[in-house]
Amino acid sequence: MKQILMVGAGSVGGFFGARLAKTNPDVSFLLRPKTLAAVKQNGLTIRSAEGTFTVRPQASADVRELPRPDLIVLGVKAYDLDDVLNQIEPVLTEKTVILTLQNGIDTEDRLLSRLQRDCVIGGVAYIYSKIAEPGVIDHYKKGAVAIGEFMGYESERLLQIRDIFSAANIPCHLSKDIRRSKWEKMCWNCVFNPITVLIDDHVARALDHPEMTGVIRQIVGEVTAISAAMKVPLPLDMPERVVKATQEIRDIHTSMYDDWKAGRRTEIDSLNGFIVQKGRELGIPTPVNEALTAMIKTMTEKEPTGPGRVRIEGAVVQPVSFDRGALAALPAEHQLDISTVMPGMQGQGIRLKGILDIPALAIDADHVAFHASDGKYSACLTLQQAKEFGVLVYELHGAALPDTNGGPFRLVTPGLGDLCANVKGVARIEITKGPGRDTRQTTCPPTL
């Protein structure tokens, strides 16, 4: 194995790739454009108590511009796997070997299923590092890998990979049961990754609270039940092993914590979410992991935006947004068939009173401006007019109100007379103190 391709230069791939590239000129990197630009300009830098260094390897966002690899090391997040496979497929041959360093359990099986050949070496990374900025990795603790064939034997290619890592002074352990090694790390990941996010602190905070002992035992118990059902039994004292292994890294945060703080997507679906999914498939209850998954997704996923939502903002204590399902779930007393108040018009509507009573409004808020998604049109009513006469039409024949009918959300004000307001494609409802923006004519226009 001569040519080595590192896919990704994040906290894992960046560290191990840079260490390999420091002594091996045949290491290249496949990178995202932002990271690529940084590495092209400044190189790839590792800042560590063991010493800071910079390497300037070959790098590209197009794998076809790099030497054809004999070994590909995947250092990207598990959720990026499908996109990465699409990128590297043009250079794969019957001899290409792929080493995985992802968290989670199913990466290797997904690779084998798609590529349909024996080309995968399983790997586990043991490291605490984080991305300081594109092209700069701060390394704090550890920095070792375990690798193994899934059949447990020491193949020639496995020994070659060990020698490659050892030549770069990277501790590389040969695992006789790499699936078990991955499940053991899965136990740790499913405990401390979500917990550090929920408590907004490092792992010691969880270790030092006796009440957490039972929670850790339940999380690990559910993980080991799934692993056993998938024919990878783990020791009965796995919860104690997880806690013991964590004592020497008490001060760390986790990769999920760092991703959350940086506004990046987390790997919750590949960790606790995977346990929940398998539990449902196998008929094994996983209530604690299900709760952790739900809470982490709620905390870390950004508020949905786009044409399928309408947002109330402005002079409110907390902005709130709705999709069609949320509007349909509001009390029946606020729902109406729009044809009952506007003959000739069809659709399901919600009285604005039912919507405007949900957010806590500023004490002196007195007007409401309705803004079209294109930013060109808006209509402003007093808060009293909006609550008394306003209707937001959101559905037609059980489906989203189409754009041709002014959807997905359309404001109408039946009964308001010459002060009527009709705004198609409402995207924002702005609560104001005093009149807000209004593009209407002085008399009621046909439509806006």
The burial of 362, by beta-carbon neighbours within 10 Å (0-12 exposed, 13-18 middle, 19 or more buried), is given as: middle
Tens-place pLDDT, residues 61-98: 999 999 999 999 999 999 999 999 999 999 999 999 99
Confidence of residue 50 (pLDDT cuts 50, 70, 90): confident
Which domains does the chain possess?
Answer: 1-176 (3.40.50.720), 179-302 (1.10.1040.10), 309-432 (3.90.420.10)
Tens-place pLDDT, residues 214-247: 999 999 999 999 999 999 999 999 999 999 989 9
Cα distances (Å, whole numbers) of residue 345 to 161, 239, 388, 395:
70, 63, 20, 12
Tens-place pLDDT, residues 99-139: 999 999 999 999 999 998 899 999 999 999 999 999 999 99
- Strands of 232-314, DSSP E: 309-314
User: How many residues are present in the chain?
Assistant: 448
Share of the chain above pLDDT 90, in %: 88
Question: Closest Cα partner for 406 from 352, 350, 347?
Answer: 347
Question: Which is it for strands 97-100 and 120-133: parallel, antiparallel or unpaired?
Answer: parallel
Question: Closest Cα partner for 14 from 26, 33, 36?
Answer: 36
pLDDT score for 441: 67
The position carrying tokens 């690529």 is 36
Bridge partners, residue 437, by sequence? none
Q: Assess whether pLDDT exceeds 60 at residue 174.
A: yes
pLDDT score for 443: 46
The position carrying tokens 């309408």 is 310
Mean pLDDT, to the nearest integer, of 370-384? 93
Residues 44/36, Cβ–Cβ less than 8 Å? no
Mean pLDDT, to the nearest integer, of 184-190? 96
